[in-house]
Amino acid sequence: MLKLKSLRPEWVTLLASAYLLIGFNSVLWEHISTVLQGDAHAVLLRLAFGVLLLCAFNIVLTLLAFRKVLKPVLAALFIISAGVAYFMSQYGVLIDIGMLRNTVETNVTEVRDLLSLKLFVHILLLGVIPTFILLKTPIRFRSLPRELLQKLLVVLASAALLAAVAMVNYQGLASLFRNHHELRLMIVPSNYIGASVNYAREKVGVASQPFRKIGEDATLAPAWAGHPRKSLTVLVVGESARAENFGLLGYNRDTTPQLSKEQGLLSFSNVTSCGTETAVSVPCMFSGMTRKDYDAARAKNQEGLLDMLQRAGLVVEWRDNQSGCKGTCDRVHVEDVSNLKDPALCADNECHDEILLKDLAARIDDLKQDTVLVLHQMGSHGPDYYKRYPASFERFTPVCRSNALNQCDRQSIVNGYDNTLLYTDHVLASLIDVLRSKQDQVDTAMIYLSDHGESLGEYNLFLHGTPYMLAPEQQKHVPMLAWFSDNYRKSFGVDTDCLQQGRDRPLSQDNLFHSMLGLLQVRTSLYNPQLDLFAGCRPAQASL
């Protein structure tokens, strides 16, 4: 039976601090080595940085080093840190409140895609086994007065060493922190602890605020009286589609062969997202707030675009093949199609995006009221890109079939991702075909906008969720498309030739809220024509 020598708590905290620093921060040290490359004082700065963290860790753990507290705290830190370090290493992710929000608000399918034997082995070796050793190690605590005195001495000594190192290396360390804000998001465990505190503060803020209605004056403009037919406006919210790989937008591969042949399809080439993760971008684009002013707690506690459209008199429905609408559809009719048992489109508790079009033609035939239908795609959600499309759409090969993307050849990752866009091309083209086939009985339109982009290994980053100020363009530059039936253009006053001329102007998800209000001729004091991308291409008689 394993029997270990007993230790004083100050030795346990020091050893644990060193283990946290060395065992779970390989990404941090690699990054510091890169940013200090060529610096004459690189070795000294790395050493000073390490001592600072060691002292800081030791101070915090010393303050927690009480009987019945220390071991559970360290056990949790070891196991959680092992998992966090794995994902940071595998995907190049940085841990902030956005990444934590993604983790908390995901679904079983997305979690399953991230699980692997390598992950469990990593947690076993770096988390579980050290925890087992810790739990088997006797800790010799003193009487409480002596223990408090010892803690005071340890904290003072650690603080003195920290201050001395910081003063001696002030210029170099200050420059390092000032020029590399990303470092704080790489330090395990303080990154996920800080993110957890911020997320908890956000949730408390939401709970403490009364729910707020917006756009209570929303009404349909008089122009609606002249519409000869009912209308169906379909808004497709894409997932992880980046503009750089969209064939319509100049990519060197034809990832959009069907859409490229669509007459009258508008593609906007210079559109940026509000966030780099679904949990930010989707609420943001429907909230009416700009990216600059976006507040997650406020967005969760107020109505949005869909509420206003519904209040104005339109039927609003949300069809979801994803992990939910992040609160944006809470007060409208929702249909979750992600777990339907359709043998042609669904397997392993998830469905391909064509499921979003199931029975759509029949529903249009039965349309009784003017309707806005939101389709939320699974799209190009990683890391298992090969699961996002039927086998018949695997045109670009070979394809990475592992969720450990950094172990795959980069071209195989790009191939799998491009196949997801090829399938999205088919889904959107099929949707347009359905809408076109019904245009004599219903005015039909489609707007497509991806929630955010995706990294495919550029700068050693994978997936998405990098803090916005640090994120590469691949995670922020997204495709946006629009198609209108002839009768819809006439009824709603859409000048597609005018829109085509402005396809390259800078746009963002800030425009969606006001563009949808303007397009659908909804009058409200919240409407801002300067953010309505259709405003300058609308005949005077169709203006709000």
CATH number of the domain encompassing residue 306: 3.40.720.10
Contacts of 9 (CB under 8 A, 6+ apart): 62, 65, 70, 139, 140, 141, 147, 150
Answer whether 249's CB lies under 8 Å from 503's CB. no
The region, left, alpha or beta by phi > 0 then psi within -120 to 50, assigned to residue 495 is beta
CA distances from 404 to 92, 111, 126, 396 (A): 11, 14, 18, 19
The verdict on residue 220 lying in a domain is no
Same structural domain, 184 and 323: no
User: In a 10 Å sphere around its CB, with 0-12 CB exposed, 13-18 middle and 19+ buried, how is residue 166 labelled?
Assistant: middle
DSSP, residue by residue, 239-267? SS--GGG-GGGT-SS-S-TTGGG-TT-EE
Q: Give the model confidence (pLDDT) of 271-319 as tens digits.
A: 999 999 999 999 999 999 999 999 998 999 999 999 999 999 999 999 9
- Ramachandran angles phi, psi of 455, nearest 5°: -100, 140
The verdict on residue 373 lying in a domain is yes
Please check the confidence at residue 518 and state whether its pLDDT lies above 70. Answer: yes
User: In a 10 Å sphere around its CB, with 0-12 CB exposed, 13-18 middle and 19+ buried, how is residue 513 labelled?
Assistant: buried
What average pLDDT score do residues 55-65 get? 97
Same structural domain, 28 and 172: yes
The verdict on residue 214 lying in a domain is no
CA distance 185 to 165: 22
The verdict on residue 480 lying in a domain is yes
The verdict on residue 443 lying in a domain is yes
Band of pLDDT at residue 406, cut at 50, 70 and 90: confident
Same structural domain, 148 and 104: yes
Identify the DSSP state of 382. S
CA distance 271 to 451: 11
CB atoms within 10 A of CB 329: 23
Same structural domain, 175 and 254: no
Band of pLDDT at residue 540, cut at 50, 70 and 90: low
Please check the confidence at residue 542 and state whether its pLDDT lies above 70. Answer: no
Answer whether 232's CB lies under 8 Å from 127's CB. no
- Ramachandran angles phi, psi of 226, nearest 5°: -95, 5
The reported pLDDT for the residue numbered 105 is 82
Strands 462-463 and 455-456: antiparallel
Same structural domain, 265 and 155: no
Same structural domain, 521 and 459: yes
The percent helix, strand, coil of the chain (3-state, each to 5) is 55, 10, 35
Same structural domain, 264 and 175: no
Nearest to 289 by CA among 276, 279, 303: 303
Same structural domain, 20 and 78: yes
Q: Based on the structure, what is the number of domains in the chain? A: 2
State the virtual CA torsion across 503, 504, 505, 509 in degrees, nearest 10. Answer: 70
The reported pLDDT for the residue numbered 203 is 86
User: Amino acid letter at 159?
Assistant: A
Please check the confidence at residue 241 and state whether its pLDDT lies above 70. Answer: yes
Identify the DSSP state of 127. I
Angle at 41 between CA 37 and CA 45, to 5 degrees: 90
Is 0.85 topped by the overall pTM?
yes
Same structural domain, 185 and 242: no
DSSP, residue by residue, 396-431? S-S----S-GGGS-HHHHHHHHHHHHHHHHHHHHHH
Same structural domain, 242 and 341: yes
Q: Give the model confidence (pLDDT) of 174-231 as tens digits.
A: 999 899 999 999 999 999 999 999 999 988 888 888 899 999 999 999 999 989 999 9
What average pLDDT score do residues 414-435 get? 99
The verdict on residue 176 lying in a domain is yes
CA distance 352 to 360: 16
The verdict on residue 466 lying in a domain is yes
What average pLDDT score do residues 88-104 get? 91
Same structural domain, 114 and 243: no
The reported pLDDT for the residue numbered 543 is 58
Same structural domain, 474 and 530: yes
- Angle at which helices 42-63 and 170-179 cross, to 10°: 80
Task: Decide which of 205, 220, 250 is a domain's last residue.
Answer: 205
Answer whether 485's CB lies under 8 Å from 436's CB. yes
Residue range of the domain that includes 110: 9-205
CA distance 176 to 179: 6
The verdict on residue 219 lying in a domain is no
